[in-house]
Amino acid sequence: MSNNLPDQSDGGILQKVALGIERAMEHCIKKYSGLVWTIAKRYVRDHSSAEDVVQETFVELWKSAKRYDPAIATESTFIGMLARRRAIDYARKESRRPQLDPLPDAELLTQLTTEPPSVAYSAGEDVREVIKQLPEDTQQIFFFHFEQGMTHPEIADKTGLPLGTIKTRLRRGLIEARNKLQHLGAGEPSTSYMS
């Protein structure tokens, strides 16, 4: 083979990837894609999500190949641990996302709605106005949590605030928003996320 990679045994490929040798990453993917795919499927059942995990694993591997130390582990062990960590992180992140029911068709939605559209729009506007009245740091936490889908630890990492502070501000903000909405007469908001 004249592809700058004479030795493709377990050892040496990651060092070549770290050095940026041409086609080293291609050979790494060919050799270890089965291993990474098997690990991804063990933790992530959805085929599309497993593909994402495999891709993310090889991207991270390309970036961190220089951290590989053959004195500590074989390449397959290093890659397997990296793939496992990626798959677990992905599965945890997915499990934290709220499971949303699909929206009904527009025709069915208009049949199910008992209030005129202006009332539903008004309630949504009330929520937006109430959130704007919360302290700016609480609004930021709301944005990260509800709009970006970030977890409490992720928000703490992003803002530099202690985890307990994030949880307290989020809870207090929800209670304050609920109280203001009730005071406005917007009706009882859903308690599923405000309790």
Q: Is the dihedral of CA 59, 152, 150, 97 positive or negative?
A: positive
CA atoms within 13 A on the CB side of 156: 10
pLDDT band at 124, cuts 50/70/90?
low
Q: Tell me the domains of the chain and their CATH numbers.
A: 13-96 (1.10.1740.10), 106-184 (1.10.10.10)
CA atoms within 13 A on the CB side of 5: 22
pLDDT at 181 over 50: yes
Buried b / exposed e over 67-95, threshold 16 CB at 10 Å, is: ebeeeeeebeebbbebbbebbeebbeeee
Each residue of 80-118: pLDDT tens digit? 999 999 999 888 887 776 655 555 555 554 555 555 544
pLDDT at 22 over 80: yes
Residue in the structure block whose two tokens are 């053959």: 70
